[in-house]
A and B are shown apart, each in its own frame.
Chain A
Amino acid sequence: MLQKSKTENSKAVITIRDVNKSFGDYHVLRGADLDLYEGENLVVLGRSGTGKSVLIKIISGLLKQDSGMVNVLGKDVANLSPKELLELRLRIGFSFQNSALYDSMTVRENLEFPLVRNRKNLGKAEIAQAVETVLDAVGLSQTINQMPSELSGGQRKRIGIARTLILRPEIMLYDEPTAGLDPITCIEINNLINEVQERFKTSSIIITHDLTCAKAVGNRIAMLLDGQFQRVGTFDEVFDTADERVTPFYDYNFIQE
Chain B
Amino acid sequence: MKKIVTRISQRFTNMFLELYRVHLFILKFFKEAFTAPFEGREVLRQCYQVGYRSLALISLTGFITGIVFTKQSRPSLAEFGATSWLPSLVGIAMLRTLAPLLTALISAGKVGSSIGAELGSMKVTEQIDAMEVSATNPFSYLVVTRVLATSITIPILTFYTAFVALLGAFVNVSTNESTSFSAFVQSFLESITFLDITASTIKAIVFGFTIGMVGCYQGFHSSKGTEGVGKAANSAVVVGMFLVFIEEVIATQITFLFRT
Contact = CB atoms under 8 A, between A and B. Distances in A.
Contact of B132 (A62, A87, A167): A62
Interface in B121-169: 121-122, 125-127, 129-137
B126 A118 contact: no
B118 interface: yes
B129 A117 contact: no
A94 interface: yes
B135 A114 contact: yes
Given A100-B127, A104-B118, A60 B133 contact: yes
Contact of A102 (B127, B132, B133): B127
A36 interface: no
A117 B140 CA distance: 12
A102 to B, nearest CB: 6
A92 interface: yes
A100 B126 contact: yes
B165 to A, nearest CB: 34
Interface string A80-120: 00000011011010101110111110000000011001100
Nearest to B128: A100
A60 B130 CA distance: 11
Contacts of A86: 135, 137
A21 interface: no
B129 A113 contact: no
B20 to A, nearest CB: 19
B144 to A, nearest CB: 15
A132 B143 CA distance: 31
A62 B135 contact: no
A133 B249 CA distance: 59
A164 B133 CA distance: 9
A96 B129 contact: yes
A94 B127 contact: no
Nearest to B132: A62
A60 B132 CA distance: 9
B134 A163 contact: yes
A117 B134 contact: yes
B133 A94 contact: yes
A60 B125 CA distance: 18
B235 to A, nearest CB: 22
B127 A101 contact: yes
A100 B129 contact: yes
Given A94-B130, A96-B130, A100-B130, A118 B135 contact: yes
6 contacts: A60-B133, A89-B133, A89-B135, A96-B129, A103-B127, A118-B134
- List 9 A-B pairs, minimum CB-CB distance, nearest first: A100-B130, A100-B126, A114-B134, A94-B133, A89-B135, A86-B135, A117-B136, A60-B133, A90-B135
Given A89-B134, A164-B134, 19 more contacts: A57-B129, A62-B129, A62-B132, A87-B135, A89-B135, A90-B135, A97-B126, A98-B125, A100-B125, A100-B126, A100-B129, A100-B130, A101-B130, A102-B122, A103-B125, A114-B136, A117-B134, A118-B134, A167-B134
